[in-house]
Amino acid sequence: MAFHDWLSTVQLWSRALDHKDKNERNYKHLPIEQKESYKWLASAERSQRCLTNGGARMVTHIGDRESDLYEEWATVPDQHNHVLVRACQDRRLLGQSKSLYAYLREQPCEGTYTIDVPADPRMGRTAREALLIIRCVTVKIQRPEQLNKQDYPPSVTMNAVEAIEVNPPAGQEAIHWRLLTTHRVVCLEQALQVIEWYRWRWRIEQLFATLKKAGLNLEATQLESVLAIQRLTVLALGVAVRTLQMVEGLDNCDLRASVTFSDSQQQC
């Protein structure tokens, strides 16, 4: 399935020179609005407005392990918005003696699935084909203790999908994804759809790579003003998105040039 890269919202911020570490700020007990991770909730809210105004009937907010946030699961989903994140924390489950990871391991294998794994030099990962075993189950995640005094429900219901690579190549870390989503998952077909949606998140890594040394080399800018660097970053984001659109167009002849260029640009 082909789809078009574009941006629904952009957030820019910089840390103060006297930025305190997490221990000094008692980070764990700060309200989410005072944490940098609030960017995930803010992004979902702003994207929701943008995409809804554009006519979207259903939006899925996909995040990696950094967006493993109870606050997001409790506030973002509604009849038009879903969340899909890769779990980072072994969460406590309501009504279960075992935690999320152990409970997932107990579930029967629903089937297997083969995916193409892209290379990632940062992690020392080579491109390969990976065979995954798939498990899925519905869970009720218990509210973290530090949120007990805040206005969040005592639990949220999520569907968990686990994908574990069988026999990875020597020297390569096995793929092991634990995905949590508000989408319905009661069979292998639905679990595989969730996995494919999560894999689309790789495009954000491609976008950052295009912004950095693999493309525009934004980090090498000699601008000194924070405002100037922010403006340059916004301009570069647009260029990076168009670059990815053109790369996708190389392998998909069905994509029209109008996805990336206006009529006048095409004539030029």
pLDDT in tens, 89-104: 999 999 899 999 999 9
Is pLDDT of 5 > 80? no
Share of the chain above pLDDT 70, in %: 98
Confirm whether 219 is domain-assigned.
yes
pLDDT computed for residue 3 by the predictor: 44
Looking at the structure of the chain, the number of domains it has is: 1
Residue 224 vs residues 159, 167, 220: alpha-carbon distances, Å: 46, 49, 11
Instruction: State the chain's mean pLDDT as an integer.
Output: 90
Band of residue 87 on the pLDDT scale cut at 50, 70, 90? very high
Give the mean pLDDT of 16-36. 82
| Ranges 78-82, 103-107, 252-256, most confident | 103-107
| Residue 240 belongs to domain spanning | 201-262
For 218, phi then psi, to 5°, come to: -60, -30
Closest CA to 10 of 227, 233, 244, 218: 233
Contact 139, 103 (CB under 8 A): yes
Is residue 56 in some structural domain?
A: no
* Residue 208 placed within a domain: yes
Mean pLDDT of 20-45: 85
Determine, yes or no, domain membership for 21: no
Q: Could you tell me if residue 228 is inside a domain?
A: yes
**pLDDT of 4 above 60:** no
Q: Is residue 141 part of a domain?
A: no
**Model pLDDT for residues 173-231, shown as the tens digit of each residue:** 999 999 999 999 999 999 999 999 999 988 888 898 899 988 899 999 999 998 999 99
Whether pLDDT at 37 is above 70: yes
SS (H, E, C) the chain: CCCCCCCCCCCCCCCCCCCCCHHHHCHHHCCHHHCCCHHHHHHHHHHHHHHHHCCCCCEEEEECHHHCCHHHHHHCCCCCEEEEEECCCCCCECCCCCCHHHHHHCCCCCEEEEEEECCEHHHCECCEEEEEEEEEEEEEEECCHHHCCCCCCCEEEEEEEEEEECCCCCCCCCCEEEEEECCCCCCHHHHHHHHHHHHCCHHHHHHHHHHCCCCCCHHHCCCCCHHHHHHHHHHHHHHHHHHHHHHHHHHCCCCCHHHCCCHHHHHC
Which tens digits make up the pLDDT trace of 91-146?
999 989 999 999 999 999 999 999 999 888 777 888 999 999 999 999 999 999 88
- pLDDT of res. 1: 36
Asked whether residue 229 is assigned to any structural domain, the reply reads yes
**155 is a domain residue:** no
